[in-house]
Structure 1
Amino acid sequence: MAQHQPIFQTKLEEDFVQIPMNIERDSTTLVSSDRKPNHWPTIVLSTIFVIIGQSIAKLLENFYYDKINRSEYNAQRQNDGVWTQALLQTVGFPLLLLPFIILLTTKKHNNNPPITSDQLHYKSLAVIYICIGILMSVQGRLSAMGKLETPFLLFTLVYLTQLFFTPIFARLINKIKFNRWVVISLVFAIVSGALTFTSTFGGEPDNAEQRFARGIWAALFAAVCFSLLLCNIQNVFDSYIFKRTESKPSFASVFEVIIFSSLAATLISTVGLLIAGEQHDLKREMNGFPKGKGAYVMVMVGQAVSWQLYWVGIVGLVFSVSSVLSNVISVVSWPIVSVLVVVFFNFRSFSGEGHDEFDTFKGVALIPAALSVAAYFFRLHKENLDSAY
């Protein structure tokens, strides 16, 4: 034992200074050591935001397509509104400015150390936010296009591939290794999402409008874009935001990522909308909306607000845990949306072929969804217990 004594003769102050402030993400966990271990309130609240935001946005989207009578559209008007749908997903970001300012003010009152320009990496973050904005805009347009050109059953199964792409990108970009509980959660999420294939969609094309090849490719690339989007957001947190201060990161960073990325996405979608001439379609739809112009405006505004609630939840889960959990929660909320569409639209099929019923698949889909969340949350609980010792 004597031969080890020199190790303990080092001054305490010197050892303390040499401790690294930015600890790498552990290879066996999905929770960064820069984050607080007891983050359940943030996780639960973000999960609720994802479910509520996506549910309301999808219900209003179905209502919109149903009332503008998509069944009477011809091939030339097949993709009316695809840029508009992409714009609605990001244009509501000014609503987040007030909570962002409040959280920033609260953070300053906590006497955090000042942040220098070198720590912020302004130029790098600006480029990254623009790239994330491009992904948001392209993903929104491609997903809208895929739903309008393929049967919703086929779109659902192809778009579900995001649960295959996200773990791959998370491993390559975020250097994450997975444990059995996360793999189990992903498997249940895939099963849950696949069982929603019997759902209907208000803008589903008829036989003459279906373009399988282009619609499938649009859905596939939309899934890739969404996966890349989540993993790049996590990279922003881990490589930039979490390292620019010695104190624990604030939830204000969630609003920061959404606001600046949505600003870029909104500009891109607006330009695309103007080039495509969709502003004329919006005017025509408003004038001919069966429920009146006021109802049309409310539907569009409601979608914009709901999507912002959804993004706060999605990015909040990336902030609290990882891109993988964020994607899992997004997909396992599909069965809930599927059931709500049946209930709110009185069991009527948008395609005109019979009725959209609460069938066995919709009911069973809720079971693997719950098991997926339970498996992931159990792993997080174990990680919290391990970090306490």
Structure 2
Amino acid sequence: MELSNNNGGSRLRRRLILIFSCVILSIGQCGGPLLTRLYFLHGGKRVWFSTFLQTASFPATFIPLAAAYFQRRKKHGPSAAKITFLTPKIFLASAFMGLVIGIDGYMNAYGVSKLPVSTSSLLLATQLAFTAGFAFVLVRQRFTPFSVNAVVLLTAAAGILAMGASGDRPAGESTKQYVLGFVLTLLAAALYGFFLPLVEYTYKKAKNGMTYTFVLEMQSVMCLVATAFCTVGMIVNKDFQAIPREAKAFDLGEGMYYVVVIWSAIVWQLLIIGTVGVICYGSSLLSGILLATLLSVTEVLAVIFYREKFGAEKGISLALSLWGFVSYFYGEIKSNKEADTQIVQESEMSQRETLPM
């Protein structure tokens, strides 16, 4: 009975962490692109700097990591408390994934700088198809008719948007810049579709028990490498020297420039922490489904705040995205109910077999 209670408490804790990760992922996924677009709309021009902001606030994770370390030290003693749970192999894998984040972030930032948020957001929804494919290859993701339906619908939603995207080119944007932004956004979606299952694969290969501390440590290494990569790009592009000038010329004022920059860094960090948390306590496919669906929410917010065009193709795309989201979670709820029923039946059968004849 005690073991059952422990298992129940562990499941509840995992679910609470999963819900928390979903919430902060949602804030980051909706707020990050909007703040980045705000930066570019009012005079920001530095793509490398914008990419840098997506991971630059990672030192904030050192606070919970330090608290966890001192708690372990107090409970188990100095000799038993590990400074880190990362093995050399996991550290190198995290560093590689950080490089992937840096490259993906640059392509994503360039796309946002050239495309309306509503267009770039739905284009990024194509990452779900790549996530599904890589998840099947890397982690043997189990698919149900409902999850397959969700992937097809969300991918079709992005395809419909792509067919009608030529009519929403921002004023003053050349065709060449628009097309390049379009292509780089699609490439960013493909690369991120590879990144999500790769994180889950790394989790499965970890020898230590999965804890949220371990997740934060991996995330810190990834963001450190991504930030270093972007810093090199900023140095080459002379972004550090240009930031003060850009702040003074910002349409909303110099003070508001730094407010936008700081909040961009915070909100993008929430997205990364939420994403790796959902992958750890859910799956890479669940993370992909959430990201794709929230892109449609971001599209609506962009129409509201930035008065971007909302044509028929975007309406159809949004409807398909929401349909795919509902389909996936209906299938998950149904599968969980069937699994719980099977566990109860097996438990009852086991009890009958142990009863004396």
The verdict on a shared fold, with TM-score over 0.5 as the criterion, is yes
Deviation at 1:62, TM superposition (A): 2.1
Tell whether 2:288 aligns with 1:315.
Answer: no
More deviation, 180-189/323-332: 180-189
1:261 is matched with which residue?
A: 222
Aligned partners of 2:81 and 2:179: how far apart in 1?
50
| Residue correspondence of structure 1 range 130-141 to structure 2 within 5 A | 130-141=95-106
SS of the counterpart of 1:375?
Answer: helix
| Residue correspondence of structure 1 range 157-172 to structure 2 within 5 A | 159-172=124-137
Quick one: structure 1 residues 43 and 199, their matched pair in 2 at CA, closer, same or farther if it must change by over 3 Å?
A: farther
Quick one: structure 1 residues 257 and 304, their matched pair in 2 at CA, closer, same or farther if it must change by over 3 Å?
A: same
TM-score w.r.t. structure 2 length?
0.79
Tell whether 2:208 aligns with 1:244.
Answer: yes
Aligned partners of 1:186 and 1:159: how far apart in 2?
13
Tell whether 2:261 aligns with 1:300.
Answer: yes
Equivalent residue for 2:199, pick from 226, 230, 233: 233
Tell whether 2:244 aligns with 1:289.
Answer: no
Deviation at 1:292, TM superposition (A): 2.1
Quick one: structure 1 residues 218 and 230, their matched pair in 2 at CA, closer, same or farther if it must change by over 3 Å?
A: same
1:93 is matched with which residue?
A: 58
1:75 is matched with which residue?
A: none
Give the letter for the 1:218 counterpart.
L
Deviation at 1:215, TM superposition (A): 3.7
Equivalent residue for 1:64, pick from 39, 42, 47: 39
Deviation at 1:158, TM superposition (A): 5.0
Deviation at 1:234, TM superposition (A): 0.7
Quick one: structure 1 residues 196 and 53, their matched pair in 2 at CA, closer, same or farther if it must change by over 3 Å?
A: farther
SS of the counterpart of 1:210?
Answer: helix
TM-score w.r.t. structure 1 length?
0.73
Aligned partners of 1:331 and 1:124: how far apart in 2?
31
Deviations for 1:197-224, whole angstroms, at most 9, x for unmatched residues?
6899x99573436346644442333122
Deviation at 1:192, TM superposition (A): 4.7
Indicate the RMSD between aligned Cα atoms, in angstroms. 3.5
* 2:68/2:213 contact within 8 Å kept: yes
Aligned partners of 1:205 and 1:54: how far apart in 2?
26
Tell whether 2:142 aligns with 1:190.
Answer: no
Quick one: structure 1 residues 378 and 109, their matched pair in 2 at CA, closer, same or farther if it must change by over 3 Å?
A: farther
Quick one: structure 1 residues 373 and 213, their matched pair in 2 at CA, closer, same or farther if it must change by over 3 Å?
A: closer
* 2:37/2:117 contact within 8 Å kept: no
| Residue correspondence of structure 1 range 14-29 to structure 2 within 5 A | none
Quick one: structure 1 residues 272 and 340, their matched pair in 2 at CA, closer, same or farther if it must change by over 3 Å?
A: same
Structure with higher helix content: 2
Deviation at 1:264, TM superposition (A): 0.8
Give the letter for the 1:67 counterpart.
H
Give the letter for the 2:90 counterpart.
L
2:355 is matched with which residue?
A: none
Equivalent residue for 1:210, pick from 161, 176, 180: 176
* 2:37/2:112 contact within 8 Å kept: no
1:13 is matched with which residue?
A: none
Deviation at 1:301, TM superposition (A): 0.4
Quick one: structure 1 residues 152 and 340, their matched pair in 2 at CA, closer, same or farther if it must change by over 3 Å?
A: closer
Aligned partners of 2:229 and 2:137: how far apart in 1?
28
2:353 is matched with which residue?
A: none
Quick one: structure 1 residues 382 and 108, their matched pair in 2 at CA, closer, same or farther if it must change by over 3 Å?
A: farther
* 1:130/1:261 contact within 8 Å kept: yes
